[in-house]
Structure 1
Amino acid sequence: MTTVLIADDHPFIRTGVQAVLAPTAFRIVAAVGSGAEALEAVKAHDPDICIFDVTMPAPDGVETLKAMREAGDQRPVVLLTAHIDDRRLAEAIAAGVNGVVGKDGAEDVLVESLERVLAGEQVIAPELVARARAQAERHHAPSPFAALTPRERTIVALAMRGTRNRDIAARLGITEGTVKVYLHALYQKLGVDNRTELAVLALRHPEEFA
């Protein structure tokens, strides 16, 4: 059995997820209503995978995800949402979210999405990606990434997926310190201050990282 934590402030949604997962190999070990409760439940129950509502209170799903990643917790997290704007989507991607599933129709795709995430895929509902791309196209501007070197472009692509500095270093055969130097230079070159802003900027130019 694969153990699951569900965090959503709407009891109806929690009950619905439990009903969807009941006949499967997924077993819910905790169902809570806020980000603070989710972080405590993660420590208490050590689930294999977490499902967070994006808009739950104190903190919301994206901030809860970020708190886990900052603490070094890399277990799979899937965000369940009725709506997520481009900025929050970029923040989730930058933090290393494993999946984003829309609540509308979730009963048809949730189990498959969890299985794909556990298999190592990053699963983002197609309609969310399409909306983000359409938003980027409406506000299209000359790409600030055009002048980047191939290595800089690779680092941007890895960073926006939430890849840690040490993992970027291992993949590129350089030191973690060198990765930090590259990122600092990229922030200056692209006019951003951190990974989240880098991810937002990259999301506005999806053709650069297709």
Structure 2
Amino acid sequence: MTKVLVADDDPLTMAGITTLLDNTNFEVVATVNTGAAALDALASARPDMLILDNGMPERSGLDVLRTLRARGDNRPVVLLTGGINDQLAREAIQLSVNGIVIKATAPRDLLTCLETVVQGRRWLDQEVMQRAMDFAMSPDAPRDPFAVLSSRERTVAALVQRGLRNKEIASELGLTEGTVKVHLHKVFEKLEVRGRTELILLAKEHGL
């Protein structure tokens, strides 16, 4: 039996997922409605896999994925989304997301996705994957300046964008404050920005 944590802020979607997984090899061990709550529930629920809505308040599914990977947590993550832009889909793929399912087709695709992921393979909505690959290969695609960052550096940058201070980032990622300062220095250096304000402006400029 595979233990699953489900995070979605839509009660109807949550009910649909739990009903879909009834009498399957997947056991829902926790249900939460924010990304922050999903991270908080990990220690007690100890899920084998996470299904994350990408449009939650506080922390999106992609935000949670970034944090997990920055912590070195590689347990499978499936993003459930009403829609995802090409650049964010590409980032999710780079962060080794295990599945991306569109909400409109979830009744048909979600269980297939979960079964594929349990077998150690990746299942991505074909249209999303194709658009992300086309976007990456297009000569007109805007350059992502954050692509030079490591997974952990990118997560630190994302937490700075949310307004967290070094002490709060350290607590979020299970690091020392000194280690966060080192990562942040590398972020500023690689992106050629002079501080937090310029980092936030750069992210807004590129729609990140």
Bin of the TM-score, shorter chain as denominator length: 0.5 to 0.7
Identity %: 39
For the residue of structure 2 that corresponds to 1:40, the secondary structure is helix
For residue 80 of structure 2, what is the aligned residue in structure 1?
Answer: 80
For residue 128 of structure 1, what is the aligned residue in structure 2?
Answer: 128
Please list every run of 5 or more consecutive structure 2 residues that lacks an aligned counterpart in the other structure.
Answer: 152-189, 192-208
Q: CA deviation at 1:134?
A: 4.9
1:157-176 alpha-carbon deviations (Å, 9 max, x no partner): xx9xx8xxxxxxxxxxxxxx
For the residue of structure 2 that corresponds to 1:104, the secondary structure is helix
Counterparts of residues 38-49 of structure 1 (less than 5 Å): 38-49=38-49
Q: Residue type of the partner of 1:78?
A: V
For residue 94 of structure 2, what is the aligned residue in structure 1?
Answer: 94
Counterparts of residues 28-67 of structure 1 (less than 5 Å): 28-67=28-67
The runs of at least 4 aligned residues of structure 1 exceeding 2 Å deviation read 130-137, 139-142
Please list every run of 5 or more consecutive structure 1 residues that lacks an aligned counterpart in the other structure.
Answer: 145-155, 163-191, 194-210
Aligned residues: 148
Q: Residue type of the partner of 1:5?
A: L
For residue 27 of structure 1, what is the aligned residue in structure 2?
Answer: 27
For residue 182 of structure 1, what is the aligned residue in structure 2?
Answer: none
| Alpha carbons of structure 1 residues 36 and 101: separation in structure 2 relative to 1, 3 Å | same
* Contact 2:9 2:56 (8 Å CA) reproduced: yes
Q: Residue type of the partner of 1:140?
A: P
Q: CA deviation at 1:119?
A: 1.0
- TM-score in terms of structure 2 length: 0.65
Query: In angstroms, what is the RMSD of aligned CA positions?
Result: 2.5
1:115-141 alpha-carbon deviations (Å, 9 max, x no partner): 11111111111021233345567x535
For the residue of structure 1 that corresponds to 2:104, the secondary structure is coil
For residue 189 of structure 1, what is the aligned residue in structure 2?
Answer: none
Q: Residue type of the partner of 1:117?
A: V
CA distance in 2, matches of 1:135, 1:76: 25
- TM-score in terms of structure 1 length: 0.64
CA distance in 1, matches of 2:81, 2:37: 18
| Alpha carbons of structure 1 residues 110 and 41: separation in structure 2 relative to 1, 3 Å | same
CA distance in 2, matches of 1:38, 1:18: 16
